[in-house]
Chain A
Amino acid sequence: MNTLEFFLAGTLSAATIFLLAALGELVAEKSGVLNLSLEGMMAVGAAVGFVVTYESGNHVLGFAIAGLAGVCVSLVFAFVTLTFLANQVATGLAVGILGLGLSALIGRNHESLTIAATEGINIPVLSDIPLIGAVFFQQNLVVYITFALAIVIALVLSTTRLGLAIRSTGENPHAAQALGCPVFLIRYGCVAFGGLLAGCAGAYASTIYTPLWADGMIAGRGWIAVALVVFGTWKTGRIAFGAVLFGMVSLGELIAQAMGARVPSQLLSSLPYIVTIIVLAAISTNTARMRLHAPFSLGETFDGSNDR
């Protein structure tokens, strides 16, 4: 594998973490719920995923339990904001803090341990194509599943009855309820789905992308995933594009070092955050576009009463 192949293949692999988490957040936000605890849910998923995989040697089991843990954390958030009507922003921060604390607690006996790296899946014939084969057809199964999931989610949201119910709940829960949409059920479901994907994204980060556990290893990637949903103006394709872009940026550090660039490593480490800020400002300045695509009721508390 040459440097270019390594870089491009690594980009897709890194993008998978962002995309998986952002897709879950997208579904939750489409139903009108702003769940800012993504970072915490991913951290719990990463810790649980690593511990289970390390102890059992079974990656699938690791992902399953990590996804389940993500769902559990997201249900705490859902219960406090949907049933107990608490402010979504503040609750997101609180559950995020809880999640980071729990992840450190869960992983405390596995700090700095590693597990064996997994092999990618070689798709016959296609993987032998120069460059393209190495980049697209020798990836881990999770990478394929994630990008396929992006397409499935886009289709479900735009064409199915379920997608319609989710979108209408996110636009106007009062009207949706008046029509008999189970608003609370839909929102609980969407938040839990977000938790599932966040947990899996964490597990992917700790067991496949860098197969080791270190406290704080999610390192802001959950927040970047939240930002990605805004960048992509709640559109799946653009979110996937943004995820690949950030996969590239986060590999910048490795590449610059490989090429012997004389730039402080801290500057390169800051690059994803700097890019996030710049892109966020560039996208958000078009308020008309934000208004056109953002779910209307995003972040608003809905107490189920009929008065508007």
Chain B
Amino acid sequence: MVFRLVKREHASRWMLLVTPLLAVLLSILASSILLVILGKPVLLTMHSFFIAPFENFYSITEIFLKFGPLLLIAQALAVGFRAKVWNIGAEGQMIIGAICASAVPVYFVDSTSGWMLPTMAVLGALGGMAWAAIAAFLKTRFNANEILVTLMLSAIALQLLYYLLLGPWKDPMGFNFPQTVMFQNEALFAPLFSGVRLNTSIFIPIAFTLAVWLLMEKHFAGFTLEVGGQAPNAATYAGFSAKKAVWVSLLLAGFAAGIAGMSEVAGPIGQLQRSVTSGYGYAGIIVAYLGALHPIGIVFAAFFLAVLQIGGDVALVSADLPISAVQVFQGLLLIFYLSVYTLVNYRIQPARVEKAASTGLPS
């Protein structure tokens, strides 16, 4: 090995700020190489990704439309990740949230009540929380690994969605498409501007961000979660309940994902259909890390990934780039972020002599 990592005495704050930027640059570099291999025009693709999304007003509102759910889910997941509660099933919690919210317009097709939307929000949140609560219960009662349980629950939620869309909830006039009826206006968020899909639900993630910031940076409850993640034995010693941390983390994520699912069906989609999550549940994991698990960092990270998704749609048309390339880019982003993040706590030293303390391959 030509280098070795030496532990810093103090974490480097400077590296903490530079890490996400460095990760983005490295990912762009790596994916440029990939584009060359695929035979795609590098500059045109990069233009589609990072410039084109800002070229007109509608496209900008679309960025914010994606920004909302990403922000909402990532903020909640980050709380869990800081407490080392590995909920990776936001996707499933979002699906159940969307299903529960959709029950209202599906069963009250003709209702014009002003209570529709609030009821949907409450049901969506409760649905997401209930789904997450299964994992919390199994973790706290049976010690079942939450990574595997939340992931399996996501797969089950997807099957439940398919069942409803192909069976009892299928729109009878929908030409046999697996989707519900289109929801009435009372079940939809009002658009912010005429002619765009961006709607008033965008204020929910913003308010949620503020709440998470207060919780994690100012409040004792956030501190107890953080201690549980950093040093579980210290949390036990202090008397902070590990079970409570699991419940809080998962219920918060279930709430956020449930609301995100609800605002998709009551927003841009306007009905329940198969692709209701657009992969926000998984992308939220990347956003949470890229934002250094910090409420403010996550705002920037969510915006960046929203741009990336819109850019991916543009590149799909302009450069004939397969949509899976966006997934590859997201994976690279997280890999580079995690690698570079190590430099917050370690510094690189050229290895003069092979030492026992080096982290490279020993001779």
- Does A185 make an interface contact (CB < 8 A)? yes
List B contacts of A98 (CB < 8 A). 327-328, 331-332, 335
Which positions 66-82 of chain B face chain A at CB distance < 8 Å? 81
- Does B61 make an interface contact (CB < 8 A)? no
Report the separation of the CA atoms of residues A254 and B145 in the bound assembly, to the nearest whole angstrom: 29
Cβ of B225 to closest chain A Cβ, rounded Å: 17
- Does A89 make an interface contact (CB < 8 A)? yes
A277 and B153: CB pair below 8 A?
Answer: yes
Q: Scoring A residues 256 to 274 as 1 if CB is less than 8 Å from chain B, else 0, what string do you get? A: 0000000010110110011
- Does B289 make an interface contact (CB < 8 A)? yes
- Does B196 make an interface contact (CB < 8 A)? no
Stretch binding the partner chain, chosen from A78-86, A116-124, A131-139, A142-150: A78-86
Report the separation of the CA atoms of residues A101 and B279 in the bound assembly, to the nearest whole angstrom: 13
Stretch binding the partner chain, chosen from A23-31, A55-63, A204-212, A283-291: A283-291
Chief secondary structure at chain B's binding surface: helix
B359 and A76: CB pair below 8 A?
Answer: no
Given contacts A184-B362, A266-B163, A267-B163, contact A97 B330 (CB under 8 A): yes
List A contacts of B163 (CB < 8 A). 264, 266-267
List B contacts of A230 (CB < 8 A). 145, 148
Which positions 141-200 of chain B face chain A at CB distance < 8 Å? 141-145, 147-149, 151-153, 155-156, 159-160, 162-163, 166-167
List A contacts of B323 (CB < 8 A). 104
Cβ of A110 to closest chain B Cβ, rounded Å: 13
List B contacts of A108 (CB < 8 A). 322, 324
- Does B339 make an interface contact (CB < 8 A)? yes
Cβ of A18 to closest chain B Cβ, rounded Å: 14
List A contacts of B331 (CB < 8 A). 40, 94-102
Number of residues from B at the complex interface, CB < 8 A: 56
A86 and B322: CB pair below 8 A?
Answer: no
Report the separation of the CA atoms of residues A277 and B131 in the bound assembly, to the nearest whole angstrom: 13
Report the separation of the CA atoms of residues A85 and B167 in the bound assembly, to the nearest whole angstrom: 49
Other-chain contact of B156, A185, A273, A285, A290 (Cβ < 8 Å): A273
A interface bracket (residues with beta carbon within 8 Å of B): 35 or more
How many Cβ-Cβ contacts under 8 Å join chain A to chain B? 164
A86 and B156: CB pair below 8 A?
Answer: no
Report the separation of the CA atoms of residues A101 and B31 in the bound assembly, to the nearest whole angstrom: 12
The residue on B at minimum CB distance from A280 is B144
Q: Scoring B residues 285 to 327 as 1 if CB is less than 8 Å from chain A, else 0, what string do you get? A: 1100100000000000000000000000000000000111111
- Does A4 make an interface contact (CB < 8 A)? no
- Does B338 make an interface contact (CB < 8 A)? yes
Cβ of A228 to closest chain B Cβ, rounded Å: 10
Given contacts A90-B334, A101-B331, A281-B138, contact A269 B159 (CB under 8 A): yes
List B contacts of A284 (CB < 8 A). 142-145
- Does A3 make an interface contact (CB < 8 A)? no
A90 and B289: CB pair below 8 A?
Answer: yes
Cβ of A173 to closest chain B Cβ, rounded Å: 12
- Does B36 make an interface contact (CB < 8 A)? no
Cβ of B210 to closest chain A Cβ, rounded Å: 26
- Does A128 make an interface contact (CB < 8 A)? no
Cβ of A89 to closest chain B Cβ, rounded Å: 6
User: 8 tightest CB-CB pairs across the interface, nearest first?
Assistant: A98-B331, A101-B327, A104-B324, A94-B334, A101-B328, A281-B142, A86-B338, A97-B331
A-B contact pairs, 14 of them (CB 8 A): A40-B331, A91-B335, A91-B338, A93-B334, A105-B328, A182-B361, A182-B362, A264-B163, A266-B160, A277-B153, A284-B145, A285-B141, A303-B5, A304-B358
